Amino acid sequence: MTSSDDEGTGGRPRLPPGQVVTRKFPVMTAGTPRTAGKDEWTLTLDGHVTNPVTLDWAAFSSLPTREFVTDLHCVTKWSKLDTVWRGVDIDVLVELARPDSQSAYVLAKADGDYSANLRLVDLTGGQAIVATHFDGQPLSPEHGGPARLVAPRLYFWKSAKWLRGLHFSPFDYKGYWERLGYHNYGDPWKEQRYR
């Protein structure tokens, strides 16, 4: 391991406590969800918002995209460094749906009854995207294609694959793993793995 793997800028370690770097890209899926192809896929932004909207693939694809380079930290202790994604910034979706000021929480909903709860402040300000591409290629089905959340501020279980909706709310509804005993917040730097 080189020193660039150990240390980020400013002396902060590059790896959260207890994590090990992998160069592979493990597939982590609970169950075998039936996933939507691009023709049937939609993304619904709803809840406590001014402008609830359901975007089909064409509408979603007309939104501006950006590249997003980030490290991923899975609760099962693998980390993958410098992953390269492309997709729509959550800030763009927030601007579109306009959640009201009490909407501090987001429930990310996916195909196969998967969901994950997050704080809105951990998704905005350029910290998360809805990704359609990984490493310059359309996102493969096993990694969540056609589109997934990438919210790497938190453990990777929060990054719902086959994303179908963002529900904005003043209430912190628990997601799939959070109901089953994973930590409600999931900060890798504080090792918030399980409750």
Which positions touch Mo ion (CB under 5 A)? 28, 74-75, 157
Backbone phi, psi, residue 15, to 5°: -105, 130
Do you know the residue count of the chain? Answer: 195
Residue with tokens 């009490």: 102
Instruction: Answer yes or no: are the C-beta atoms of 184 and 175 closer than 8 Å.
Output: no
29 binds ligand MTE (CB under 6 A): yes
Rounded to the nearest whole angstrom, what is the least distance from the CB of residue 73 to ligand MTE in the complex? 9
Q: Is 98 in the site for ligand MTE (CB under 6 A)?
A: no
For 148-166, b/e burial (b = at least 16 CB within 10 A) is bbbbbbbbbbbbbbbbbbb
Is residue 121 a contact residue for ligand MTE (CB under 6 A)?
no
Closest contact distance (angstroms) between CB of 148 and ligand MTE is 7
Query: Residues 36 to 95: which contact ligand MTE by CB under 6 A?
Result: 74
Is position 20 an interface residue for ligand MTE (rule: CB under 6 A)?
Answer: no
- Exactly one of 83, 112, 172, 185 binds ligand MTE (CB under 6 A); which one? 112
Output 48 or 109, the one with its CB closest to Mo ion.
109
Bridge-based pairing of strands 105-110 and 115-119 is: antiparallel
